[in-house]
């Protein structure tokens, strides 16, 4: 049985995926990236293999992706996260035409062909206002965990308007609304709606075409899903493995390479 791997080294988390010849995920792992990017990539890959009882020599090809893709020291090739998220989304949800990827430091809107090939994309790489980092600032101000933000926001009756477009000032604005007597629920729903509005701007630049697939770690946030669906007036495809979509795309590209007869360097675990 031929296996291939993908390692997505993101700004906050590193994800590893291994697939078989039927393109099924047979191993996965997620770790915090931390300061040592090389170690994070190795740790995620090794843990994925160990948890599934797979030996390093069974994985025939590995592709690195994400901002730290060149730090995947055991990888055979590097592919951009844009291409990998597009490929992974189209594989997970056949019929995907548009992808919104929301990570810790940036957000991306991607238009793809049925096979996941990129048609167009844009990203907010110069500002973190539409990303997980913006949610992190709100969580810090309110003394909450990231996991609690979405469910709490969904209890809102009257969201406040978040006007800042800078993550640096998000914490101050959240505290300001608290001082004015607004509820935590209404403040958080305002934060989610603000992020959704910025994401909608990205999507409009590439064209909003059904089906739309939401990827990245923030896609695990139910409040963010609802905020996006409301502003788009469309249902989103969301997988429980949304945060692994880039790594999955990388593993799929790796399988293409194996089937094309490309050879791999020896893997370490």
**Per-residue pLDDT at 126:** 55
Least confident of 2-11, 121-130, 144-153, 252-261: 121-130
**Per-residue pLDDT at 138:** 92
- With 70 as the cut, is the pLDDT of residue 63 above it? yes
pLDDT digits (tens, 9 = 90+) for 149-163: 999 999 999 999 998
- With 90 as the cut, is the pLDDT of residue 1 above it? no
**Per-residue pLDDT at 104:** 81
Provide the token pair at 139.
């969580």
Share of the chain above pLDDT 70, in %: 96
C-alpha 81/C-alpha 260 separation (Å) is: 22
- With 70 as the cut, is the pLDDT of residue 268 above it? no
0.75 surpassed by pTM: yes
Residue appearing with tokens 């770690």: 217
Listing DSSP states for 142-171 in one string gives HT--HHHHHHHHTT-SSPPPP----HHHHH
- Angle between helix axes 184-206 and 167-179 (nearest 10 degrees) is 150
pLDDT digits (tens, 9 = 90+) for 16-45: 999 999 999 999 999 999 999 999 999 999
**Per-residue pLDDT at 164:** 80
Name beta bridge partners: 3.
59
**Per-residue pLDDT at 52:** 96
- With 90 as the cut, is the pLDDT of residue 182 above it? yes
Nearest to 98 by CA among 88, 111, 89, 86: 111
Q: Name the average pLDDT for the chain.
A: 93
Distances (CA, A) of 155 to 36, 143, 174, 221: 39, 18, 17, 14
Q: What domains can you pick out in the chain, each with its CATH number?
A: 1-93+240-269 (3.30.420.40), 96-238 (3.30.420.40)
Q: Give residue 2's pLDDT band: very low, low, confident or very high (50, 70, 90).
A: very high
Section 48-57 average pLDDT: 96
C-alpha 16/C-alpha 42 separation (Å) is: 9
Q: Give residue 269's pLDDT band: very low, low, confident or very high (50, 70, 90).
A: very low
pLDDT digits (tens, 9 = 90+) for 82-136: 999 999 999 999 999 999 999 888 899 999 999 999 999 999 855 555 577 889 9
**What are the φ/ψ torsions at residue 53 (nearest 5 degrees)?**
70, 35
**Per-residue pLDDT at 125:** 56
Contact present, 197 and 231 (Cβ < 8 Å): yes
């Amino acid at each position: 049985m031929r296996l291939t791997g993908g390692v997505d080294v993101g700004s906050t988390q590193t994800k590893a995926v291994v697939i078989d010849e039927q393109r099924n995920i047979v191993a996965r792992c997620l770790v915090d990236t931390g300061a040592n990017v090389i170690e994070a990539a190795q740790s995620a890959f090794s843990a994925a293999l160990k948890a599934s009882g797979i030996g390093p020599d069974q994985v025939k090809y590995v592709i690195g992706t994400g901002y730290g893709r060149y730090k995947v020291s055991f990888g055979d090739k590097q592919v951009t996260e844009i291409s990998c998220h597009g490929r992974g989304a189209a594989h997970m949800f056949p019929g995907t035409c548009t992808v919104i990827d929301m990570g810790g430091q940036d957000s991306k809107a991607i238009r793809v062909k049925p096979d996941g090939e990129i048609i167009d994309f844009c990203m907010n790489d110069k500002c973190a206002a539409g990303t997980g980092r913006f949610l992190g600032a709100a969580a810090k101000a309110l003394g909450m965990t990231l996991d609690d933000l979405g469910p709490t926001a969904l209890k809102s009756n009257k969201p406040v308007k978040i006007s800042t477009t800078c993550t640096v000032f998000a914490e101050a604005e959240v505290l300001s609304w608290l001082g004015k007597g607004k509820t935590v629920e209404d403040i958080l729903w305002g934060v989610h709606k603000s992020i959704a509005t910025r994401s909608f701007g990205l999507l409009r630049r590439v064209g909003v075409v059904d089906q739309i697939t939401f990827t990245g770690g923030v896609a695990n946030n139910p409040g963010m899903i609802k905020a996006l669906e409301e502003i788009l007036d469309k249902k989103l495809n969301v997988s429980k493995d949304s945060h692994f979509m880039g790594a999955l795309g990388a593993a799929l590209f790796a399988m293409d390479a194996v089937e094309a007869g490309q050879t791999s360097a020896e893997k370490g675990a």
